[in-house]
Chains A and B, each alone.
Chain A
């Protein structure tokens, strides 16, 4: 019974963080939300009796994928429509 409630809460949080990751304009927040999704997903794997997969997901999904995205954001732009603002400024100064 307690596992059922825990699973339902985890699934709800997963879907919520996925929606937040797609909806958020700030890419850094979106990437952190997708890392949280992977964390909850690994707990769900433990509940579904798959400890091997949970270990892999916890190491790769939470740590490595998130850090690769963060490095990419540092090297490019942080906001989803940042280039638009620059362009508008350019056109008005001309």
Chain B
């Protein structure tokens, strides 16, 4: 009976959703005078940034990104609070299964290149696909590989807190410098340079490096906290 009610209501919902979305068409221009052209031309002419998604995330909607990294920070903090355990219970971490020698050597070999790839992705965020969030998560997967392979590998929590808060302070102080010199929060204060250069786009590169460090530290902290959880 419950299943029947759920199936009927899901069927009605699906019918109307499909009716709406089949009607609007796929691969056509939905708005004749959309905000898309404004963003594209502003990003090309004023900011000189190649990757438009980066310029939207960091500059045109930078306050949104500040809120997003705050949400990640809150999630990390809440996870530590929910999974709180008395200090002397934390001992040897149990891995999923003991790693063989091949996996250990391979992990040691792969770890620096994964971190290097992550750093490349967030430094070149305004030139090619990628950015702070992608680079930060790639670095976190590198740490995840080491944590899963080695039983006694540990990440210093103090150092994570240090990196995380330093990156956050850098983000907010760049925003405040823009506020006091140009009149609005996260306004561009540096010269924009040429298109497709590494030093282009003003403050976008610096902010994305800060976001990359912050996201990497937060996600590594989340994984480390959950992985230490043991019956």
Contact = CB atoms under 8 A, between A and B. Distances in A.
Interface of A: 51-52, 54-56, 59-60, 63-64, 67-68, 70-72, 74-75
Contact of A59 (B134, B148, B223, B230): B134
A63 B144 contact: yes
Interface string B202-224: 00000000000000000100110
Given A55-B121, A70-B96, 20 more contacts: A52-B129, A52-B130, A52-B131, A54-B129, A55-B129, A55-B134, A56-B134, A59-B137, A63-B137, A64-B137, A64-B144, A64-B219, A64-B223, A67-B144, A67-B148, A67-B223, A68-B222, A68-B223, A72-B226, A75-B229
B53 interface: yes
A75 B96 contact: no
Interface string B29-68: 0000000000000000000000101100000000000000
10 contacts: A52-B129, A55-B129, A56-B133, A59-B134, A59-B138, A64-B141, A70-B96, A71-B227, A71-B229, A75-B229
B127 to A, nearest CB: 12
A72 to B, nearest CB: 8
Given A52-B53, A75-B231, A59 B96 contact: no
B8 to A, nearest CB: 18
- How big is chain B's contact interface, by range? 20 to 34
Nearest to B148: A67
Interface of B: 51, 53-54, 96, 121, 129-131, 133-134, 137-138, 140-141, 144, 148, 219, 222-223, 226-227, 229-231
Nearest to A76: B231
Contacts of B129: 51-52, 54-55
Nearest to B231: A75
Nearest to A70: B96
B65 to A, nearest CB: 13
Contact of A68 (B130, B133, B137, B226): B226
A60 B141 CA distance: 9
Contacts of A71: 226-227, 229
Nearest to B134: A55
Given A51-B129, A52-B130, A52-B134, A64 B51 contact: no
Contact of A63 (B130, B133, B141, B222): B141
Contacts of A51: 129
Contacts of A74: 96
